[in-house]
Amino acid sequence: MKDIYESQARLRGIFNITVTPFTARGEFDFAGLARNVERVIALGYDGILIGGTYGEFPTMTTEERAVLFRKVMDVVGDRVPVMLCSAGSDARAVSELTRLAGELGGLPMVTPPFVSEVTHSQIVSFFKQMTPLSRTGILVYNAPGIGITLPPAVLEELADIEGVVGIKQGDLNPTAIDQIANRLGGRLRLFCASDLAFLGPMMCGFDGISTTNSGALPEVILATYRALEKGDAATARELHQLWYPYRVLARRHGQPQLVKAAMNLRGFDGHHVRSPLIDLEGGVIEEVKAELLRLAQDPRSGVTLK
């Protein structure tokens, strides 16, 4: 992507949140990462997200994240849009990574700075400092899991900043979704940050979703999204219900741990998580395997096992 206008025009659809495969020693497996990227592009995903919260960016140094950005953009080129997470609590690191992401043709995804007692006015000021750094604009990530939940009123202020091309909304409270969809829809792109409960936001008029579990279940999640995109709500609901038992496991055992375990069982390159996360093992792996076997027996899922 070469500028803000192209970035916003292409920012729609279903984006795979690509996990970062680490070796048992905690090193990057870039070959495995490339295979994971190629898989979802070949299936028809509209874009990818690299180095987000489920990509384990908090466990990486700034230098490692920069290498990750470059490696992925070398693989993807301009085939699909790429969100590159440049979030952080150190504004210097965020500035460096935001500038790099834009230079590489990706879209920087930036969270509010997660420091204690930061005020709404300071958050708005922070984003005003970040947006000029990227020629492709920035995506605001409202990520409650990181510690700050931005209310719709603050998101409206951020939407007025030149260079903000979209919001990835992690607070899926129905009232917040309704307010955001109706106040900001059409002004900038709206993304649902979770595949666990995306039917509601999409029905309200959001422009797309980002999905971690599509690393493990790329077929059924893509089919669900495409059905909803075509206006076939009944099929979308049926397919979303199909993988509910998997979502139960995801909520119980955590992401990306469960995603990587399921990917490994399918012969994909999930590999390991980095400390302080811990790989799933033992009985939990057997639970995941049983769920994948159940899905593989249902032709609607598209899931196959080696």
Catalytic residues: 141, 168
> Which residues make beta-bridge pairs with 28?
22
DSSP code, position 272: B
**Amino acid identity of 286?**
E
Rounded CA-CA distance 151/287 in Å is: 37
User: Quick check: 166 and 187 in contact, CB under 8 A?
Assistant: no
- For 41-61, b where at least 16 C-beta lie within 10 A, e where not — what string? beeebbbbbbbbbbbbbeebe
272-305 exposure pattern, b = at least 16 Cβ within 10 A, e = fewer: bbbeebebbeeebbebbeebbeebeeeeebbbee
> Residue 23 CA to chain centroid, in angstroms?
22
The CA distance from 232 to 239, in Å, is 11
Tokens of 260: 């990587």
- Tokens 């984006």 locate to 15
E-strand spans in 36-85? 47-50, 82-85
Asked whether the CA dihedral 99, 79, 76, 226 is positive or negative, the reply is positive
Contact 13, 116 (CB under 8 A): no
